[in-house]
Amino acid sequence: MLLNRKAKSAIIVLSGGIIVSAVASTLTYKLVNDKSQSQRFTIANLSKPNFISNDNLDLTDIQPTITDINLKVKEKPTPLPIPDPTTEPPKITIQPTPDPIVVEPKPEPIPEPPKPEPIPEPQPQPEPDPIIVEPEPIPQPEPQPEPVPEPEPEPQPSSPPSLPETDVAIIRFGDINVRVHVEPIPRREYNKNDINKGIANRKPYISEVSSDLKYVEVTEELRRENRKQAGKALRNSVW
């Protein structure tokens, strides 16, 4: 009995859904095909073209539009009158200018060239006496002095090499202070042109951060402290 009731309920629900769908489809079709509720949209055929193929259009004070119907064509300028070729232009008579009067200058008299003076004949000169050149005497070689041996230079004592300029620093070694000599760090020199152009480092570049150790002043106190530190290191390594 329970199964029959569920089957009947399912049949009723399906039948109701089918009926509602059919009624809704019919009403929708009727409303769509009802021409009384429709609107007709037509595009009027323009008797003029949308665009005017003319370069002489007036584009001042125009409204934005998709056609050229409202554009006006500029008026053509009135052509100038063409002169009639049959009429002759007025003739202009030009009076000829008289030729200037040229006065020829009188020729100046040409002076006669002077007569050349007669060249005197050269008088014979007496021949000079012949010059007798005496032969030069042959120089005799002078006797050369015998070479004197130079004395050998005495050996000079060698001077100790000069040590570079150093600074004295105090360091702590164990329980004592030790004096050490170190070479100062060289100062870096900058080019004036780089400084004027602003390309030099704002902070000086340091290539060496510590001075070079030259030598240590060894004293008896330093030797005792060194032995003491060596013994302490040995005991620590053994134990």
Domain range list for the chain: 167-238
Six-digit token string for 194: 């780089």
What are the E-state strand segments in the chain?
57-58, 72-73, 167-173, 176-183, 212-216
pLDDT at 150: 76
Closest C-alpha to 215, from 185, 175, 171? 171
Block means of pLDDT (10 residues each) for the chain, 239 residues, are 70 85 82 59 54 72 70 75 64 69 74 75 72 73 75 62 73 90 83 84 78 88 91 83
pLDDT at 177: 93
Residue 192, sorted as left (phi over 0), alpha (psi -120 to 50) or beta, turns out to be alpha
Q: What's the rounded Cα separation, in Å, for the pair 59 and 75?
A: 13
pLDDT at 82: 75
Q: Are strands 72-73 and 57-58 parallel, antiparallel or unpaired?
A: antiparallel
pLDDT at 181: 92
